[in-house]
Amino acid sequence: MQSTATWVDTGFLVALFASDDTHHDAAKTFLKNNTHLDMHTVWPVVVETCFFLDSEGKQALLQWIERGALVMHEISAKDLLFIRNILSKYQNIAPDFTDAVLVSMADLSKIRKILTIDIRDFSIYRFADGTAFERLWI
């Protein structure tokens, strides 16, 4: 059976919770048509998303998380070496901390799918075994 687990990046959440976002309708339609997905993310994605949302959007996002829409993964001090290695490996494209955490946690969890609008970076990032992310949206 194919895994339904997927990582969720900031761009997808912004599109979903900001009605004026260019990709808002596409994000809503994608989610409506893919109710089977087991969506995962990390707190840095939530923090970054909230930066781009108005108060209403922030509250809606947090309520959605409270209802269990996302599996939230914690990072700990033991994960920082792996995160730093990602930042170093891809320094030529200057990944932000959130991307480095997502790439690290994806590799550790073996979840290879991602919902993102960041086509450039998530086409470059590779897992330890050399495989690429499978982008499910945009």
Q: Which domains does the chain possess?
A: 5-137 (3.40.50.1010)
Residues facing 8 on adjacent strands: 115
What pLDDT tens digit does each residue of the chain (138 aa) get?
Answer: 578 999 999 999 999 999 999 999 999 999 999 999 999 999 999 999 999 999 999 999 999 999 999 999 999 999 999 999 999 999 999 999 999 999 999 999 999 999 999 999 999 999 999 999 999 987
- Sheet with 134-137, strands from edge to edge, namely 71-73, 38-42, 5-8, 113-115, 134-137
**CA atoms of 78 and 124, how far apart (whole Å):** 25
- Quick one: which of 134, 124, 117, 127 has its CA closest to 27? 117
The C-alpha angle 45, 51, 57, rounded to 5 degrees, equals: 90
pTM here is 0.94
